[in-house]
């Protein structure tokens, strides 16, 4: 080993604390790319693979009833490759251990064997497939099985045709159209009370009385087919059979939830690592450059001995490269572990078969190039500067750094400050760019936390507005089919019910200005308090007695303004009627349209009807009440708002904990890295100055204050900058999550910003404390002899 | 500049009459210092005895490695002895904690370094104020700077001062707190002859003015003439000691 190599290793060991802090920050950058970017791309890839392998359909349609023969005509439509038809029906379940009635979505397994049975294929994850001739066997979805402790071999009781039927669970299934098992209508799934039941078609046709007919269609398109054209063709074919309007993948409910989640993760997957890599690159660049700048004398000695500029440059570049390499290796190792953990957590929420953690190599490569180039370029600048210096110049003691009377002095404030404060202020004023970069680094750490955590504030706000202000019922009851309002008043006589409000939803297609949108039209009671119209700011609105009220984004899409007349195509009645737009409503989620219950009855010509009811109870649901509900055969589901909210809060809290932990760790690493290195450099540049003061009788504390004063001022400057950057980051994240159907409110909560600031201040203090200990052990005797 | 110093010199001194009171500032007995470097033990001081009197100017001569810096460091509370005792006005330096040593330096000792060690971000006046801010009964920084002939450079930063001027600021900084002891380690080591004389003149003046017991380390024997007493050190021992019949003015020194 050459002497120079030995020096390299010893230098690395001697400066190990600093090498470690460079490596740590760099490792953070690499770690974020490996873990977050990797999780995002793994999930997206797993979903895409799963959709491809199990033939997730591209066009979906539901209808009232159509004969099986229609399948051939659907298959013959241009652009259609395969058509799968089936029968889907929600039935009431008695779930062991659950007091309220549950809902089972009974889905018939296709009987055709022409390749179409592969569409939205049901995979058996555990247990076995249904026996060909069995008519009481079912597969259930995994989450429903888990939360209710159900397994193959267990039974479930369903109310089918007003009779109790015992169903035998033979396996746990999964299908791409129910990747997220969400029935719609609430903030989260009432997991215990909603299950997917895949059943033989004999059973389902018996339950629905649909022998030789279907009410659900899934279509696979030919390559290059236009989705819109197929949807129109399917609609015109199904219109006679009560078609509810075909939709593409984008509107399929499970896919919409999954896509939303993944696109948010994807945004985070880019925003976070970019942020982190940027800070890491800047930090390692400057730290390496300053570290090498302090080696001036050694460079001179090496050159005096006859080492070439090139050899000297190589020596220091190798030092930088090894520090960088160390960071990359650590980041890679930890990132893989963290990535597996985060992916594992997503698996509990999105059960994508075949999901496993993979590193996003293109992103990784990009990050490595950015990190290496920026870090090394900082080192190169210093190395070249030092190598070009004539040895004699480098050996001479550097002349006192030039200081001037600065702004502070000119303003006359200088005179009132103690000398130590003047040292701090002049130090900052002399190198404003260094101070600014330091402040920017700390601010970035703060901003990252504040921005990311603001998303949780936004989600919480959304749920508050929709399900705590908009909805205030205890139970939401859904009926098999609409009944006249007079019949629905039976709910009032149930024990414990203090208020009943009726609701009617029906599938419609709204037409205006040559545009159309398919959605559920909701009929509400005027003066209702259990379900209210609420805008994005949380303000409630009274439903007008006449006309239709719709989401602002829907009105915009239809180019409809209040006073305009839109055509309402009633999909169940095959009729189209005009209605005047009463108002637009700026909502968080859309598209929605609302009418007063009576006005809706006039529009349909059926008179006021209810398809469901919101109940407010005096206390918790009593067994007597639930028994009463169970005794009503038309009741298909009873959802507890509190159960859904609790489930949502639980999911949110878990996600919040994970994300908070991750951002806090990242931000702490950045803040410690910035402050520790800033103080370390200051100590190496001014160690002699500080040791002289110790000799002159300054205490360790006084010298420590001088050393850390500058970092303290920089950190103080960083706070407001961080708040601003954090707010901008939150705005960016929220804007990138917005879509036509989804409006995220920007919530700026003081608590979030205070929390982020406290984390940063603690991290900075920790780094300061580490440096303080070093400052306490300055070599005083050395000051009297050697110069630096 | 020379006139400014000369002007200072005509002022008759009060307390500084050569060892008039004979009051002992330091009493060192049997002082030893052993450095362990690896397996080697180096005896830097070998059972050394020393008395230093108030107002006295002592020049400590010796080759490098003779132990003179070690002695100065121990007297200044920067280093601790391996054996023996050092009494500073009845207080034993050898038994002081790090905190007590800091206080000792803060209240009683003035240091002048070979390389000035000024704070580059502070002006001459502010460098002096740095010390007077934490001292009990200090001089006004401007007074201290006039004492070394820099009354007109108080607002200059170190980078705007010559080496000699920087060293005189350092002297002003050392004496501004009216220290009982002034310790100077090779104060002219980095200066040319002419500037060196000015600096030594300043040290000699403040010694007379303030009555601080002054120890000046040098390997330049020519400087010995300005001392009241001269000690030569060899291998950790005092090998020679003599008193000058009269202190030669630094201006007359030749080297």
**Interior angle at CA B223, CA B222 and CA B227, nearest 5:** 125
Q: How confident is the model at residue A281 (pLDDT cuts 50, 70, 90)?
A: confident
Size of interface A-B (CB pairs under 8 A): 97
Would the CB atoms of B102 and A698 count as touching at under 8 Å? yes
Higher pLDDT, A5 or A50: A50
Nearest CB to A783; choose among B106, B113, B120: B113
Cβ-based contacts of B130 with chain A (< 8 Å): 419-420, 693, 696
Query: Which residues of chain A lie closer than 8 angstroms to B115, CB-CB?
Result: 397, 787
- For residue B246, CA distances in Å to A429, B215, B221, B226, B228 come to 52, 17, 16, 8, 7
Q: Dihedrals φ, ψ of A78, to 5°?
A: -60, 135
Q: How many angstroms away from the CA of A702 is the closest CA of chain B?
A: 10
Give the closest of A423, A697, A785 to B105, CB-based. A697
- If you measure CA to CA, which chain B residue comes closest to A702? B134
Q: How much is the mean pLDDT over chain A?
A: 85
Residues of B within 8 A of A780 (CB-CB) are 78
| A725 vs A301, more confident | A725
Sign of CA dihedral A553, A558, A561, A566: negative
Q: What is the mean pLDDT of residues B103-129?
A: 86
Across the interface, of B109, B122, B155, the residue whose CB is closest to A422 is B122
CA distance A124 to A141: 10
Report yes or no: A750 at the B interface, CB cutoff 8 Å: no
The token duo for B184 is: 């100077």
- Could you tell me if residue A66 is left (phi over 0), alpha (psi between -120 and 50 degrees) or otherwise beta? beta
Residues in A touching B113 (Cβ below 8 Å): 692, 695, 783-784
Please, where are the H alpha helices in chain B?
2-10, 68-75, 98-108, 124-132, 141-147, 163-175, 193-210
Residue A216, both tokens: 């659900």
A700 touches chain B (CB under 8 A): yes
- Helix (H), strand (E) at residue A454: helix A432-464
Q: What is the mean pLDDT of residues A735-748?
A: 78
b/e sequence A717-731, b meaning 16+ C-beta within 10 Å: bbbebbbebbbebbe
Interchain CB distance below 8 Å, A419 and B173? no
> So what's the pLDDT on residue B13?
36
As to burial, measured by CB atoms within 10 angstroms (0-12 exposed, 13-18 middle, 19+ buried), residue A782 is middle
Q: What is the mean pLDDT of residues A260-273?
A: 80
**Predicted confidence (pLDDT) per residue in A351-367, tens digit:** 888 889 998 899 889 88
What percent of the residues of chain A are helix, what percent strand, and what percent coil, each to the nearest 5?
A: 55, 20, 25
A731 CA to centre of own chain: 15
Give the DSSP H/E element, type plus range, for residue A3.
Answer: helix A3-14
Encoded tokens for A630: 């169970």
Report percent pLDDT > 90 for chain B: 36
Q: Which of A420, A696, A784 sits opposite B69 (nearest CB)?
A: A784
β-strand pairing of A475-484 with A609-617 = antiparallel
Q: Would you state the pLDDT for residue A405? A: 65
Q: Which helix (H) or strand (E) element contains residue A599?
A: helix A597-604
A401 → closest Cβ in B78, B105, B159: B159
Which residues of B touch chain A, with CB atoms under 8 Å apart? 69, 72-73, 76, 78-79, 99, 102-103, 105-107, 109, 111, 113-115, 117-122, 126-127, 129-131, 133-134, 155, 157-159, 166, 173-174, 185
Distance (Å, rounded) from C-alpha A774 to C-alpha A707? 11
CA nearest neighbour of B77 among B59, B95, B102, B55:
B102
In this complex, the residue of A397, A423, A695 whose CB is nearest that of residue B121 is: A423
Residue pair A552/A585 in contact (Cβ under 8 Å)? The answer is yes
Tell me the C-alpha to C-alpha distance, in Å, between residue B80 and each of A419, A778, B29, B65.
31, 16, 14, 17
Nearest CA in chain B to A431: B121
For a pLDDT cut of 70, what percent of chain B falls above it?
92
Quick check: A704 contacting B, CB < 8 Å?
no
Asked if residue A142 lies in contact with residue A232, where contact means CB atoms within 8 angstroms, the answer is no
pLDDT tens-digit profile of A23-65?
887 888 888 889 888 998 999 999 999 999 999 999 999 998 9
**Distance of residue A401 Cα from the nearest chain B Cα, in angstroms:** 6
Tell me if A19 sits within 8 A of A326, measured CB to CB.
yes
Cβ–Cβ of B106/A699 closer than 8 Å? Answer: yes
> How many other CB atoms are found less than 10 A from the CB of residue A630?
16
| Shortest alpha-carbon distance between residue A426 and chain B (Å) | 6
The string of pLDDT tens digits covering residues A622-660 is: 888 888 888 887 888 888 888 888 888 887 787 777 778
Q: Do B133 and A419 touch (CB under 8 A)?
A: yes
- Report the chain B residue with the minimal C-alpha distance to residue A422: B122
Using only C-alpha atoms, chain A has a radius of gyration, in whole angstroms, of: 34
As given in the structure block, the two tokens for residue B134 are: 């934490």
Residue A43: DSSP 8-state: H
Query: Edge-to-edge, what's the strand order for the sheet holding A213-221?
Result: A80-86, A213-221, A59-67, A247-248
For B132, which residue in chain A has the nearest alpha carbon? A419
Task: Tell me if chain B has a CB within 8 Å of the CB of A410.
Answer: no
Q: How far apart are CA A441 and CA B140, in angstroms?
A: 42
Comparing CA positions, the residue from B153, B147, B148 lying closest to residue B199 is B148
The C-alpha atoms of residue A504 and residue A523 are separated, in whole angstroms, by 5
Q: Do B131 and A697 touch (CB under 8 A)?
A: yes
Smallest CA–CA distance, residue B246 to chain A, in Å, is 30
In chain B, whose CA is at the least distance from the CA of A428?
Answer: B121
* pLDDT class of A392 with cuts at 50, 70, 90: low
User: Which stretch of A180-189, A550-559, B68-77, B141-150 has the lowest confidence by average pLDDT?
Assistant: A180-189
Phi, psi of A105 (to 5 degrees): -95, 105
Contacts for A773 with CB less than 8 Å, ≥ 6 apart: none
Q: CA-CA distance, A681 to A679, in Å (whole number)?
A: 5
For A291-350, write each residue's pLDDT tens digit.
777 777 777 777 767 777 777 788 888 888 888 899 899 999 999 998 998 888 888 778
Nearest to B34 by CA among B78, B67, B72: B67
Distances (CA, A) of A638 to A180, A499, B132: 20, 16, 82
**What tokens does A148 get?**
């209710």
Distance CA B125, CA B141 (A): 6
Beta bridge partners of B37: B40
């Amino acid at each position: 080993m050459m002497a120079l190599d030995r020096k390299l290793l010893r230098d690395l060991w001697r400066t190990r604390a600093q090498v470690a802090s460079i490596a740590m920050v760099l490792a953070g950058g690499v770690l974020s790319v490996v873990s977050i970017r990797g999780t995002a791309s793994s999930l997206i890839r797993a979903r895409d693979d799963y959709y491809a392998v199990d033939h997730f359909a591209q066009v979906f349609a539901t209808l009232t009833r159509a004969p099986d023969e229609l399948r051939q005509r659907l298959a013959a439509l241009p652009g259609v490759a395969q058509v799968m038809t089936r029968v889907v029906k929600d039935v009431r379940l008695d779930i062991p251990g659950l007091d309220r009635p549950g809902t089972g979505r009974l889905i018939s397994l296709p009987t055709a064997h022409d390749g179409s049975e592969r569409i939205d294929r049901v995979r058996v994850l555990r247990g076995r497939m249904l026996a060909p001739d069995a008519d009481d066997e079912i597969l259930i979805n995994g989450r429903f099985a888990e939360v209710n402790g159900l397994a193959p071999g267990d039974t479930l009781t369903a109310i089918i045709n007003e009779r109790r039927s015992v169903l035998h669970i033979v396996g746990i299934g999964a299908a791409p159209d129910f990747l997220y098992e969400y029935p719609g209508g609430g903030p989260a799934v009432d997991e215990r009370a909603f299950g997917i039941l895949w059943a033989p078609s004999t059973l389902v046709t018996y339950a629905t009385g649909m022998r030789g007919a279907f009410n659900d269609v899934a279509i696979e398109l030919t390559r290059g087919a236009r989705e819109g054209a197929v949807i129109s063709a399917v609609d015109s074919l199904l219109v006679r059979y009560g078609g509810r309007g075909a939709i593409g993948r984008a509107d399929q409910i499970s896919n919409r939830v999954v896509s939303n989640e993944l696109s948010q993760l994807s945004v985070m997957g880019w925003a976070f690592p970019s942020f982190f890599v940027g800070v890491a690159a800047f930090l390692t660049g400057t730290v390496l450059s300053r570290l090498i700048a302090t080696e001036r004398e050694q460079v001179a000695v090496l050159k005096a001995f006859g080492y070439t500029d090139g050899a000297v440059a190589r020596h220091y570049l190798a030092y930088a490269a090894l520090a960088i390499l160390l960071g990359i290796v650590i980041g890679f190792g930890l990132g893989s572990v963290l990535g597996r953990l985060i992916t594992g957590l997503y698996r509990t929420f999105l059960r994508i078969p075949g999901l496993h953690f993979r590193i996003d190599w293109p992103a990784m490569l990009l990050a490595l190039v950015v990190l290496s180039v920026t870090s090394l370029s900082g080192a190169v600048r210093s190395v070249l500067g030092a190598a070009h210096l004539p040895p004699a110049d480098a050996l001479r003691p550097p002349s006192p750094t030039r200081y001037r009377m600065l702004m502070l002095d000119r303003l006359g404030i200088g005179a009132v400050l103690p000398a130590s404060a003047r040292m701090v202020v002049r130090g900052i004023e002399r190198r404003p760019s260094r101070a600014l970069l330091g402040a920017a680094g700390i601010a970035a750490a703060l901003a990252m936390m504040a921005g990311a955590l603001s998303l949780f504030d936004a989600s919480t706000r959304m749920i508050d507005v929709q399900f705590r202000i908009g909805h205030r019922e205890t139970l939401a009851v859904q009926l098999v089919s609409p009944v006249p309002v007079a019949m629905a008043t039976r709910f009032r006589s149930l024990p414990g019910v203090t208020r009943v409000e009726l609701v009617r939803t029906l599938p419609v297609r709204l037409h205006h200005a040559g545009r159309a949108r398919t959605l559920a039209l909701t009929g509400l009671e005027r003066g209702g308090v259990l379900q209210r119209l609420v805008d994005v700011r949380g303000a409630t609105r009274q439903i007008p007695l006449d006309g239709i009220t719709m989401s602002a984004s829907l009105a915009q899409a239809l180019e409809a303004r209040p006073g305009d007349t839109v055509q309402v195509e009633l999909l169940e009645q095959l009729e189209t009627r005009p209605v005047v737009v009463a108002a637009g409503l700026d909502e968080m989620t859309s598209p929605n349209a609302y009418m007063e219950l009576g006005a809706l009855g006039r529009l349909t010509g059926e008179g006021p009807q209810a398809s469901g009811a919101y109940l407010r109870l005096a206390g918790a649901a009593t067994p007597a009440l639930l028994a009463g509900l169970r005794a009503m055969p038309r009741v298909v589901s009873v959802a507890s708002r509190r159960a859904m909210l609790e489930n949502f809060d639980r999911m949110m809290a878990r996600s919040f904990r994970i994300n908070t932990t991750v951002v806090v760790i990242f931000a702490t690493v950045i803040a410690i890295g910035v402050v520790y290195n800033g103080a370390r450099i200051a100590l190496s540049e001014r160690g002699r100055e500080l040791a002289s003061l110790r000799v002159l009788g300054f205490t360790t504390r006084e010298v420590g204050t001088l050393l850390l004063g500058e970092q303290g001022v920089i950190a103080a400057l960083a706070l407001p900058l961080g708040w601003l950057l954090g707010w901008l980051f939150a705005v960016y994240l929220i804007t990138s999550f917005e879509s036509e159907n989804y409006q995220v409110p920007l919530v700026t909560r003081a608590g979030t910003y205070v929390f982020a600031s406290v984390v940063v201040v603690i991290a900075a203090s920790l780094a300061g404390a580490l440096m303080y200990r070093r400052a306490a052990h300055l070599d005083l005797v050395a000051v009297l002899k050697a110069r630096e | 500049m020379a006139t400014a110093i000369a002007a200072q010199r005509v002022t008759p001194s009060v307390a500084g009459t050569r060892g008039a009171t004979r009051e002992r500032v330091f009493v060192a007995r049997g002082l030893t210092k052993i450095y362990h470097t690896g397996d080697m033990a180096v005896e830097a001081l070998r059972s050394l005895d020393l008395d230093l009197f108030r107002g006295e100017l002592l020049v400590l001569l010796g080759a490098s490695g003779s132990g003179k810096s070690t002695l100065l460091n121990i007297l200044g509370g920067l280093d601790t002895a391996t054996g023996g005792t050092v009494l500073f006005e009845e207080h034993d330096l050898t038994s002081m904690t790090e905190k007590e040593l800091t206080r000792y330096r803060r209240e009683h000792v003035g240091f002048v370094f070979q390389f000035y060690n000024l704070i580059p971000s502070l002006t001459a006046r502010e460098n002096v104020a740095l010390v007077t801010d934490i001292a009990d009964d200090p001089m006004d920084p401007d007074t201290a700077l006039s004492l070394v002939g820099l009354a007109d450079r108080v607002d200059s930063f170190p980078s705007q001062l010559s080496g000699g001027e920087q060293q005189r600021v350092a002297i002003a900084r050392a004496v501004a707190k009216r220290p009982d002891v002034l310790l100077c380690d090779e104060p002219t080591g980095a200066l040319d002859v002419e500037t060196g004389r000015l600096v030594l003149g300043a040290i000699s003046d403040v010694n007379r003015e303030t009555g601080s017991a002054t120890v000046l380390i040098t390997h330049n024997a020519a400087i010995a003439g300005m001392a009241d007493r001269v000690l030569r050190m060899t291998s950790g021992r005092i090998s020679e000691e003599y008193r000058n019949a009269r202190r030669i003015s630094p201006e007359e020194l030749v080297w």
